[in-house]
């Protein structure tokens, strides 16, 4: 078992629904950004949410992670140790802490001016604060705090190694090349020991080699940590290559759900991407992939 697997993980358990989204609806005035969306995301599985621009993907993430309060809907996280938690009822800041939902953003958000290693220690702030009893215990060198601090450094070094950034530990995070910043964001999210990892376009701006490294990293996280991963992604080589399940949105509505093979053969999906008149905005690799696989199914 990997050294930092969640307590309930590491077994050969069958995938079960970690997250259940029921009738999620998000309105902004007259605009319905997400319209009655329901799906489940398994534990120890990768679930991709795809769809054309403006389909409502990020809005779903924002509802799950407490940035928005849904207009309607139930978001149940079956936490392996805490039981069912209703995310739509929780205050946003408690969702990462209590529910163990971690997130990365479309635009990289690291702490510039801090080293790569420090970025990973800061991610464990909550645990360290608990260990210090929210007091001066840390400064006074209380044993419990010192042990928690050593563990935090060990965990940070583990994830640095996993994302291939050990040699960059002392670099200013802001000076990392873009692809490495993206990997550091994932390492930082993993340092918070999530049960659900939400990644918003992690492959954006990556070259093909970096994308395939990302695929390997995410498959490794799924298989070793046994956590759920939710993925918003436009890069079809990533989506089709690693997803256990895909949910497709279009104009806020859910138009398909299933395994990659089913989804890319689904006429509604092909239509949403290609449009009735072959939408020219479609990235060529998406058009090729969907047209080829949809056509041959
Ligand atoms: N805070 C907001 N206020 C008003 N409208 C919003 C807000 N957030 C999102 N929207 C609108 O909701 C719709 C869905 O946006 P969203 O960002 O969720 O789409 P997306 O599928 O993530 O798109 P992309 O792939 O381009 O990131 C869009 O029409 C967007 O303009």
Residues 137 and 261 in one domain: no
Q: How many domains does the chain have?
A: 2
CATH number for the domain harbouring residue 156: 3.40.50.300
Model confidence at 112, pLDDT cuts 50, 70, 90, reads: confident
Domain of residue 87: give its range.
1-100+194-297
The whole-angstrom separation of Cα 33 and Cα 250 is 10
Residues 87 and 216 in one domain: yes
Nearest 5°: the CA angle 21, 26, 29 is 170
Percent of the chain topping pLDDT 70: 79
Residues 187 and 56 in one domain: no
Per-residue model confidence (pLDDT) at position 149: 76
Q: Is 104 in the pocket of ligand 1 (CB under 6 A)?
A: no
Residues 74 and 116 in one domain: no
Nearest CA to ligand 1 atom 10: 33
Residues 173 and 216 in one domain: no
Residues 115 and 234 in one domain: no
Model confidence at 280, pLDDT cuts 50, 70, 90, reads: very low
Q: Is 51 in the pocket of ligand 1 (CB under 6 A)?
A: yes
Nearest CA to ligand 1 atom 3: 28
Residues 245 and 266 in one domain: yes
Model confidence at 148, pLDDT cuts 50, 70, 90, reads: confident
| 147 pLDDT higher than 70 | yes
Residues 26 and 73 in one domain: yes
Q: What rounded mean pLDDT belongs to the chain? A: 84
The ligand 1 atom at the shortest distance from the C-alpha of residue 62 is 18
Mean pLDDT of 112-118: 86
Q: Single out the residue in 175, 192, 209 at which a domain terminates.
A: 192
Residues 27 and 145 in one domain: no
| 276 pLDDT higher than 70 | no
In this predicted model, which residue has the larger pLDDT, 144 or 279? 144
The answer to whether residues 56 and 31 touch, using CB atoms and an 8 Å cutoff, is no
Residues 68 and 8 in one domain: yes
Beta bridge partners of 79: 83
| 58 pLDDT higher than 90 | yes
Residues 94 and 209 in one domain: yes
Per-residue model confidence (pLDDT) at position 121: 85
Give the C-alpha distances (Å, rounded to integers) separating 243 from 8, 86, 257.
Answer: 23, 25, 12
């Amino acid at each position: 078992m990997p050294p930092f697997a969640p307590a309930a993980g590491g077994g050969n358990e069958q995938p079960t629904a970690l997250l259940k989204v029921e009738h999620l609806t998000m309105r902004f005035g007259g605009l319905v950004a997400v319209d009655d969306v329901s799906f489940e995301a398994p534990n120890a599985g990768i679930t991709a949410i795809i769809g054309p621009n403006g389909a409502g993907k990020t809005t779903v993430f924002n509802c799950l992670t407490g940035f928005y309060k849904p207009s309607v809907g139930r978001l149940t996280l079956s936490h392996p140790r805490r039981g069912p938690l209703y995310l739509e009822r929780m205050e946003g800041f408690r969702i990462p802490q209590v529910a163990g939902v971690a997130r990365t953003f479309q635009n990289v958000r690291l702490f510039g001016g801090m080293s790569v290693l420090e970025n990973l220690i800061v991610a464990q702030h909550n645990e360290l604060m608990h260990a210090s009893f929210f007091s001066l215990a840390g400064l006074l060198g209380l044993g419990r705090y010192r042990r928690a601090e050593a563990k935090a450094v060990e965990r940070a070094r583990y994830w640095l190694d996993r994302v291939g950034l050990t040699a960059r530990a002392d670099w200013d995070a802001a000076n990392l090349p873009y692809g490495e910043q993206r990997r550091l964001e994932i390492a930082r999210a993993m340092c918070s020991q999530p049960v659900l990892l939400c990644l918003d376009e992690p492959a954006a701006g990556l070259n093909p080699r970096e994308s395939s490294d990302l695929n390997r990293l995410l498959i490794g996280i799924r298989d070793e940590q046994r956590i759920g991963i939710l993925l918003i992604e436009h890069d079809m080589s990533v989506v089709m290559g690693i997803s256990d399940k895909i949910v497709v949105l279009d104009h806020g509505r859910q138009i398909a759900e299933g395994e990659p093979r089913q989804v890319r053969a689904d006429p509604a999906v092909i239509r949403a991407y290609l449009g009735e008149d072959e939408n020219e905005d479609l990235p060529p690799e998406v058009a090729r992939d969907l047209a080829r696989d949809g056509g041959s199914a």
